[in-house]
Amino acid sequence: MARPFDSNDRTGAFDYSDFAQEFLRRNAAYRQQYARIASESGFDPQSTACRQMARSWGLEFPD
């Protein structure tokens, strides 16, 4: 079902990474996993747990 045009729609300028970020931000499973990893590792992006979590969601962070 098509959504009616909304001039206040902020997604008009989104690219693929913007949509992916919004999807993850709203995804309860991702947020729960993120919170668990952050509390366990102090959110060290170089930790093995952090890297594995990122890969499981298809994320890559440049070094």
Does residue 49 contact residue 55 with C-beta atoms inside 8 Å? no
Higher pLDDT pick, 61 / 47: 47
- The model's pLDDT over 14-41, given as tens digits with 9 standing for 90+, comes to 888 888 888 999 999 999 998 998 888 7
Burial (Cβ within 10 Å: 0-12, 13-18, ≥19) of residue 50: buried
* Whether the model pTM is above 0.85: no
User: Would you state the pLDDT for residue 1?
Assistant: 53
Higher pLDDT pick, 15 / 10: 15
Name the residue ranges covered by the structural domains of the chain: 17-56
